[in-house]
Amino acid sequence: MSIDFFGRKLNTYRANLHTHSTLSDGEFTPDQVTDLYSKAGYDVMCFTDHRKNSRISEIDPRGMLLLPGAELHPTGGRITISHLLCVDLPEDFDVSIAERGKLGENHMQPTIDAVNAAGGLCFFAHPYWCGFRAEEIAALHGLAGIEVYNTSTRYIGKAYNMHIWDDLCDMYCPLPALAVDDVHHAHDLFGGWTEICCEERTAECITAALRNGHYYATQGPRFKRLSYHDGIFEAEFTPVTTAIGMSNRCRGFCAEVPNFTGDGKTREITSCRFDVSGFFAPGKTSIKSTYLRLQIIDAQGRYAWSNPVAIP
């Protein structure tokens, strides 16, 4: 599919960027899990086994672009260990860097620095499931983003990370966010993915798009156009019943929410337009919007999330 991405006509590539195999605690061998995602129509997959480099050069990509990666677990200070999703990590990266922190020590920053120095991208994985607070994430430098949705953590009710994401945005840390399966078992397959927006499906283009936040997270709904010009945010998308421009604290922009208008009817919409420049909540004029991110939900309850746009 294609997208009008803030004035640029780009292709979208469906990606699962958080994948485990029998190299760590996954149920499927690297070949089996590659086969599953390829047959489901995915374009890009990243192997991220725990504390292990992936050897994508030894795997038949079955028509997909495979990226090397790993999930690293440096000590997290207050929290015993963290989960850092490292994408496009060179196959010879020394993963032992992440194991050098002592319990109680915060060893996340040296790990993030080493991943960035090696040319990789570091995302903060499933922060709600781990128990991290937004301020602990905001204190880190060099993160490429966080996970807003993680299929494998839904079994204890902690798959969605919107609250932590919005806290980060409120702290002037508007990181982009991925949706991932974090697949370990068959019941984790295809619950959420990232649509990467770029010209072509080469490792160079795909990783540049990931570095620049040129993607959106989804469980099904698709964005066809995203635009922000002179204080006006506009979007077009596949049919949904809820479309909300999420912004700071009590700020928000509602295009449609079932039952919100009081008539109890569910309508489907395929576009929205928010005048971000002119909106002030009554009596709350001192609260300025600094970001806007679009969140849409379809009739089946599936979400899609645009990345935050900074409002000057």
List 182, 188, 256, 298, residue binding Zn ion (CB under 5 A): 182
The least CB distance from residue 20 to Zn ion, in Å, is 6
Burial class (CB in 10 A: 0-12, 13-18, 19+), 46: buried
Quick one: 49 or 256, whose CB is closer to Zn ion?
Answer: 49
The least CB distance from residue 71 to Zn ion, in Å, is 5
Backbone dihedral region for residue 240 (phi beyond 0: left; psi -120 to 50: alpha; all else: beta): beta
Quick one: 25 or 105, whose CB is closer to Zn ion?
Answer: 25
Residue nearest to Zn ion (CB): 83
- Please, are residues 70 and 99 in contact by the beta-carbon 8 Å criterion? no
The answer to whether 147 contacts Zn ion (rule: CB under 5 A) is no
CA nearest neighbour of 269 among 309, 297, 228, 307:
297
The least CB distance from residue 25 to Zn ion, in Å, is 9
Quick one: 50 or 211, whose CB is closer to Zn ion?
Answer: 50
CB atoms within 10 A of CB 310: 12
Give 47's Cβ-side CA count (13 Å radius): 30
CA nearest neighbour of 48 among 26, 73, 27, 19:
19
The least CB distance from residue 149 to Zn ion, in Å, is 13
Stretch that binds Zn ion, among 28-36, 106-114, 124-132, 295-303 (CB under 5 A): 124-132
| Number of residues engaging Zn ion in binding (CB under 5 A) | 4
- Rounded to an integer, what distance in angstroms lies between the CA atom of residue 312 and that of residue 21? 44
Quick one: 83 or 214, whose CB is closer to Zn ion?
Answer: 83
Q: What is the DSSP string of 86-104?
A: EES--TT--GGGGG-PPTT
Quick one: 77 or 258, whose CB is closer to Zn ion?
Answer: 77
The least CB distance from residue 58 to Zn ion, in Å, is 21
The answer to whether 71 contacts Zn ion (rule: CB under 5 A) is yes
Give 286's Cβ-side CA count (13 Å radius): 1
Spatial neighbors of 248 by CB under 8 A, at least 6 apart, are 169, 170, 287, 288, 289, 290, 291
- Rounded to an integer, what distance in angstroms lies between the CA atom of residue 287 and that of residue 155? 37
Strand partners, 225: 4, 236
Quick one: 182 or 256, whose CB is closer to Zn ion?
Answer: 182
Quick one: 151 or 242, whose CB is closer to Zn ion?
Answer: 151
Site string for Zn ion, 79-118 (x = CB under 5 A): ----x-----------------------------------
- Please, are residues 143 and 112 in contact by the beta-carbon 8 Å criterion? yes
The least CB distance from residue 81 to Zn ion, in Å, is 9
Quick one: 54 or 241, whose CB is closer to Zn ion?
Answer: 54
Return the structure tokens found at 185.
């078992």
The least CB distance from residue 169 to Zn ion, in Å, is 23
Stretch that binds Zn ion, among 5-13, 31-39, 68-76, 135-143 (CB under 5 A): 68-76
Site string for Zn ion, 196-235 (x = CB under 5 A): ----------------------------------------
CB atoms within 10 A of CB 136: 20
Stretch that binds Zn ion, among 54-62, 141-149, 180-188, 193-201 (CB under 5 A): 180-188
Site of tokens 């509602």: 254
Q: Given the rule CB under 5 A, which residues bind Zn ion?
A: 71, 83, 125, 182
